[in-house]
């Protein structure tokens, strides 16, 4: 692992379909941090029909953000678990200024802070193309693409053998709402982290390997 003696608290941010889940898999293989995706946590809650899932599902299917009070509590609980003590990778959180401020406060209580925020950038046309060709595994969360990251057997997850599906919010209508939510509510948090001198930008239009090489550089230089 690249970060054996260093605490690494990472945020991966970027518009929907930028490749956050794809790059998270590679980061976890190279750096000893747990992957915390609020989207994956909500989807698991929806498939288990928990009270959280019932609350979140209408927002998610419509492409809207789940309210801050629900999301912040969920992340706070997760970050208190033992595997986060030496670092973590947040994918899809924070997504609003109040979430970013709440995260800063949670960490400050334990004398901790965010070391690196990786901002993945891409244009809407490419993102729309990626979203319509994405297939995901509802069982283990692995993400594929029928053009750029094909599973070994058509329609079947390489990792767990489950049948692949398209996410409910991966339709043109919900995707427009997600892009809009990103531009209006999430993108402004980049400035919040630029002020803390922890923001690094990566061109997400490159190949999966090239994007990861840039991310790795940012994480190795993180202080």
Q: Which is nearer to ligand AP5, 115 or 133 (CB)?
A: 133
Q: Give the per-residue SS3 of 98-153.
A: HHHHHHHHHHHCCCCCCCEEEEEECCHHHHHHHHHCEEECCCCCCEEECCCECCCC
Contact residues for ligand AP5, defined by CB under 6 A: 14, 16-22, 38-39, 42, 59-60, 63-66, 71, 92-93, 95, 99, 130, 134, 143-145, 148-149, 169, 178, 207-208, 211
* Of 14, 19, 21, 87, the one binding Mg ion by CB under 5 A: 21
Residue nearest to Mg ion (CB): 21
Q: Which does residue 17 bind out of ligand AP5, Mg ion, none, counting CB within 5 to 8 angstroms by kind? A: ligand AP5
Residue 169 three-state SS: coil
Q: Least distance (Å) from Mg ion to the CB of residue 215?
A: 15
What does DSSP assign to residue 87? Answer: E
Torsion of CA 150, 155, 157, 161, to 10 degrees: -140
Does 141 participate in binding Mg ion (rule CB under 5 A)? no
Which positions ≥6 away from 72 have C-beta within 8 Å? 98, 99, 102
Question: Which is nearer to ligand AP5, 31 or 144 (by Cβ)?
Answer: 144
Set 20, 43, 130, 135: catalytic member: 20
The SS3 of residue 172 is helix
The residues assigned a catalytic role are 20, 95, 134, 167, 178
């Amino acid at each position: 692992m690249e970060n054996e003696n260093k605490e690494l608290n990472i945020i991966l941010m970027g518009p929907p379909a930028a490749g956050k889940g794809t790059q998270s898999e590679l980061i976890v293989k190279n750096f000893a941090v747990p992957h915390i995706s609020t989207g994956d946590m909500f989807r698991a809650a929806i498939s288990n029909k928990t009270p959280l899932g019932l609350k979140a599902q209408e927002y998610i299917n419509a492409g809207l953000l789940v309210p801050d009070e629900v999301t912040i509590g969920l992340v706070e609980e997760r970050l208190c678990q033992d595997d986060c003590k030496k670092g973590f990778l947040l994918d899809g959180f924070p997504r609003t200024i109040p979430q970013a401020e709440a995260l800063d406060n949670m960490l400050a209580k334990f004398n901790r802070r965010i070391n690196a925020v990786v901002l993945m950038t891409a244009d809407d046309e490419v993102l729309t193309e990626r979203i319509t060709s994405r297939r995901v595994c509802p069982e283990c969360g692995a993400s594929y693409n029928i053009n750029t990251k094909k599973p070994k057997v058509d329609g079947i997850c390489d990792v767990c053998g489950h049948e692949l599906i398209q996410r409910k919010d991966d339709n043109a209508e919900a995707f427009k709402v997600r892009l809009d939510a990103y531009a209006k509510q999430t993108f402004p948090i980049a400035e919040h982290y630029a002020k803390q001198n922890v923001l690094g930008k990566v061109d997400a239009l490159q190949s999966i390997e090239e994007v990861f090489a840039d991310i790795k550089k940012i994480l190795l230089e993180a202080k």
